[in-house]
Amino acid sequence: MWVEPNDLTVERIQFLDEHGKITGTMPEVSDEELISLYKWMVQARVFDQRALKLQRQGRIGTYAPLSGQEAAQVGSACALTEQDWIYPSYREGAACFVRGFPMKNFFLYTMGHLNGTDAAGAHVFPVQIIIAAQCLHAVGGAWASKYKKEDSVSVAYLGDGGTSEGDFHEAMNFAGVYKLPMVFFVQNNQWAISVPVRKQTGSKTIAQKALAYGMAGVQVDGNDVLAVYTAMKQALNRARKGEPVLIEAVTYRQGPHTTADDPTKYREGSDVEHWLAKDPLKRMKAFIVEKGIWNEALDKEEYERADQMVTEAFEQALNTPKSSTKEVFDLVYEQKTSQLKEQQLSLGSEEVWK
C-alpha cells in the first residue's frame, strides 16, 4: 500500500483568533495565569525593541529580534516545571527570561562578555549559534535524565530552518528510538534568513515529520499563547512517560533575521502586514480586556514597569567589568590541561575583551 503525502491531514490547534475571540472551548487557564502570560509577553516585546535600538547605536553586538514570536516562547516556557531544561538557539530571549535567566546576562551575551551565558541555576543551556546543534545537546540531557530516573523534560527550541539540518533529524531519530523525555519545539516563523519555509520542506507541515521518527506531532497557532501553553502542557505529560513530542508553532518573525539582515530585500510588504494583523500581544490584550481582567491603565503601567526593568538590566550589564582574555582558559575544561595552563600564563594580566 502506497503512503501518499496528501493522505495526511494536520489540524492546527487554536483557542484565540486574531481578534482575541475564543474559538471553541476555553482551556483551563486561570485569570492569574492569563495576566502572567500577557505580562511576560510585554516584557519580551519591550526588551526586544530596546535591544534593537541599542544595537543600532553600537552599544551591543549583533542581535536576533524576537518580536512576533512572544506567544510561542512565553506560552511554551510558562508550561514547564522547575526541573525541566530548555536548550535555546539565539532568538529565545523570552523563553529564557520566563525560566529565570537574568536579563542583565542576556545583555552581557550580546556584548560578548564571557559570563553572558551564565544561567544562574535557571535550567537554561547556553545559547547555541550552530543551527539545530542544540537538538543533539537536548537529547543528551534527556537521555541523562532518563538514566538517572529524574522527572525532567528537555526542550529544544529551533526555527523552521533548523529542520533542514541533519542534527535535527539525528536528534529526532535518537529520541524516538530510545523513548526519551524530550520535546522539540519548532517556531515556524516562515523564514530562515531569506529562505521561505516552502523551500525548507516538501511536506505540508513540519509537525508531520514526527511520524517518521515514531513520535507524536502537533501543530499550533504560534501567535495564540493559550494554544501554545495548552499544547506544551499536554506534550510535557507525554514526554515524562517516555513519549517524545514535536510541536510546530506557526508564527512570524516581524523583524530581520538579525541586525545584520535587511528583510525588505526578500519579503513583500503585504506579507508583513498580513502577519502584523495576527500580532500575539494585540490578540491577548483584546481577550483579557474583553474578559474584564485588564484595562488601558494597567497596560500603560505594565509597559512602564517593563521599560524600567530593561533599563536597569542594561545599566547593570554596562557597569559589569569586562571579561579578561585569561578567563577564556577557565571556561574550556573543568580541569585545565598543561597546554592551556601554559598558554594562560603567557598572557598579560591586563588584557580584556574590547
- Cα–Cα distance for residue pair 112/148, rounded to 1 Å: 35
- Of the candidates 19, 56, 266, 274, the residue annotated as catalytic is 266
In the block, residue with C-alpha cell 532568538: 91
Is 253 tagged catalytic?
Answer: yes
CA distances 63 to 7, 47, 49, 104, 247, Å, are 41, 12, 11, 15, 25
Of 281, 291, 287, the closest CA to residue 75 belongs to 281
- Of the candidates 253, 274, 283, 305, the residue annotated as catalytic is 253
- Cα–Cα distance for residue pair 20/289, rounded to 1 Å: 9
Is 266 tagged catalytic?
Answer: yes
Check residue 202 and report its DSSP letter: S
Burial code of 41-53, b = ≥16 C-beta within 10 A, e = fewer?
bbbbbbbbebbbe
Give me the residues paired with residue 245 across strands: 183, 216
Is 257 tagged catalytic?
Answer: yes
- Of the candidates 91, 113, 123, 257, the residue annotated as catalytic is 257
**294 grid coordinates:** 485588564
- HSE value, Cβ hemisphere, 13 Å, CA-based, for 29: 26
Check residue 55 and report its DSSP letter: H
Neighbours of 272 (CB within 10 A): 17
CA distances 138 to 8, 130, 340, 345, 354, Å, are 29, 14, 28, 35, 33
Query: Known catalytic residues?
Result: 253, 257, 266
